[in-house]
Amino acid sequence: MNPLHFSETREKRTILIVDDTPENLAVLHGLLKDNYKVKPAHCGARALQIAGTGTPPDLILLDIMMPEMDGYEVLRRLRADAATRDIPVIFLTAKTEPEEEEKGLKLGAVDYITKPISPSIVQARIQNHLELKAARDFLKNHNAFLEAEVCRRMQETLSTQDVAIRALASLAETRDNETGNHIRRTQGYVKALAEKVRGNPRFSEFLTDAHIDLLFKTAPLHDIGKVGIRDHILLKPAMLDPEEYEIMKTHTTIGRDAILKAEKDIGHNVEFLHLAKEMAYAHHEKWDGTGYPLGLAGDAIPLSARLMALADVYDALISWRIYKIGLPHEKAVEIIVQDKGSYFDPDLVDAFVEIQEEFRAIADRYFDDDVKMAHIARGELVDGTG
């Protein structure tokens, strides 16, 4: 229910009266029964039982001087229980010393009324504190409603973001009919590798749950720049010549610039766009500085791009293309291990070797049967292994 709209009519509020003297209970019951639902308790233990069972009372009138468990201890236990800690408690006591009142208020009592009581004062104090409680409850419910609304809108925004990423990635995929499930595979590889190395002190500060989730979501944008490569190069059914390869390499800059423009249009930094820009621009950089487009080396290459570099190369090695057949998983692992410290971050290679079966499983799940079948049709397989 929207907390901004509530009925003014409601059942009688419940008052729990706690006093070890039957006469006092009778007097207070008679005073309050016409306006409230009254529950009496003759001792502290019974009071705690009533307060903690079913719907909590709206307010408690609590005597201090009781045998076995005095009012102070009852209040301590009420405040220690999440189900009863917010119930307003008014002390009713014959103790008139200021230090006693101070003690009660410090323990969390909302008021302190001395005996003998004045019926009109008791009624007024109860009414005031019930109204204060109603206001607090309203604000609490209203805040909960607002928090839920913020969460709903945030989830809506994240869903829109996911759809936009998927749409852009699909656009790149439709331009390159050889990629097939490349996007899904590299997305899975990046997440598996990131989760494996998150315990490494070199990476732990960056690889939080939130960042790993963003890496997974933004990985599909690593080749978004391919939408800017001309068809006769992007779709060439053979290896590229040197000039064509130089043009193909510009997909990193095209992708970076497209995401950079999106950032400028938004007018503020967005984390997922920042990671997408890193991946798109630097996923062909190499650990030893011989990659492109900037020739970055070592930790100067963003971690997001280093993760994608290994994922991208593994997938390129095992994947079937119009101009090549895919390598067996074992051969791809061997090549990546050989490039440890030259192409790839050594720690990432070590982690990859440990979880290589996860990579194999992801590759099998999203295998491109259509490309392999094209090779079979052309008689390019021998004994089914190439």
Quick one: residue 292, left, alpha or beta (phi over 0 = left, psi -120 to 50 = alpha)? beta
Highest mean pLDDT among 140-149, 163-172, 230-239, 273-282: 273-282
Residue 324 pLDDT: 79
Could you please report the per-residue DSSP string of 178-198?
T-TTHHHHHHHHHHHHHHHHT
pLDDT category of residue 1 using cuts at 50, 70 and 90: very low
Which is more confidently placed, 385 or 203? Answer: 203
Residue 386 pLDDT: 34
In a domain, 262, yes or no: yes
Q: Judge if 71 and 186 occupy the same domain.
A: no
What CATH code is carried by the domain that includes residue 200? 1.10.3210.10
Number of structural domains the chain divides into: 2
Pairing of strands 14-18, 89-93: unpaired
Q: Cα(129)–Cα(189) distance, rounded to whole angstroms?
A: 60
Residue 9 pLDDT: 44
Q: Is pLDDT at 180 greater than 80 in this prediction?
A: no
Q: Cα(130)–Cα(282) distance, rounded to whole angstroms?
A: 63
In a domain, 2, yes or no: no
Burial class (CB in 10 A: 0-12, 13-18, 19+), 32: buried
Q: Is pLDDT at 373 greater than 60 in this prediction?
A: no
Of the given ranges (47-51, 98-102, 175-179, 209-213), which has the lowest mean pLDDT? 175-179
In a domain, 18, yes or no: yes
In a domain, 67, yes or no: yes
Could you please report the per-residue DSSP string of 19-30?
-S-HHHHHHHHH
Dihedral sign computed on CA atoms, order 20, 23, 24, 27: positive
Are 74 and 51 in contact, with CB atoms under 8 Å apart?
no
Q: Judge if 89 and 215 occupy the same domain.
A: no
What are 316-341's pLDDT values in tens digits? 999 887 777 889 999 999 999 999 99
The boundaries of the domain holding residue 81 are: 14-146
pLDDT category of residue 8 using cuts at 50, 70 and 90: very low
Q: Judge if 19 and 137 occupy the same domain.
A: yes
Q: Judge if 356 and 223 occupy the same domain.
A: yes
Residue 98 pLDDT: 81
Q: Cα(252)–Cα(260) distance, rounded to whole angstroms?
A: 12
Q: Judge if 186 and 140 occupy the same domain.
A: no
Are 332 and 359 in contact, with CB atoms under 8 Å apart?
no
Tell me the two tokens of residue 193.
Answer: 């590798």
Residue 133 pLDDT: 84
Average pLDDT along the chain: 85
Amino acid identity for residue 87 in this structure: I
Q: Is pLDDT at 7 greater than 80 in this prediction?
A: no
CA 15 to centroid of chain Cα atoms:
41
CA atoms within 13 A on the CB side of 274: 7
pLDDT category of residue 381 using cuts at 50, 70 and 90: very low
Are 43 and 64 in contact, with CB atoms under 8 Å apart?
no
Q: Is pLDDT at 294 greater than 80 in this prediction?
A: yes
Q: Judge if 126 and 268 occupy the same domain.
A: no
What are 117-148's pLDDT values in tens digits? 888 888 898 998 888 888 887 887 777 777 77
pLDDT category of residue 261 using cuts at 50, 70 and 90: confident
Question: Which positions ≥6 away from 298 have C-beta within 8 Å?
Answer: 287, 289
What are 38-50's pLDDT values in tens digits? 999 999 999 999 9
In a domain, 157, yes or no: no
Q: Judge if 267 and 120 occupy the same domain.
A: no
Q: Is pLDDT at 265 greater than 90 in this prediction?
A: no
Segment 101-105 shows an average pLDDT of 83
Instruction: Find out whether the peptide bond into 98 is cis, omega within 30 degrees of 0.
Output: no
Segment 94-103 shows an average pLDDT of 80
Q: Judge if 229 and 97 occupy the same domain.
A: no
pLDDT category of residue 305 using cuts at 50, 70 and 90: very high
H or E element that contains 309: helix 303-318
Are 43 and 50 in contact, with CB atoms under 8 Å apart?
no
Residue 173 pLDDT: 63
In a domain, 329, yes or no: yes
Q: Cα(122)–Cα(236) distance, rounded to whole angstroms?
A: 90
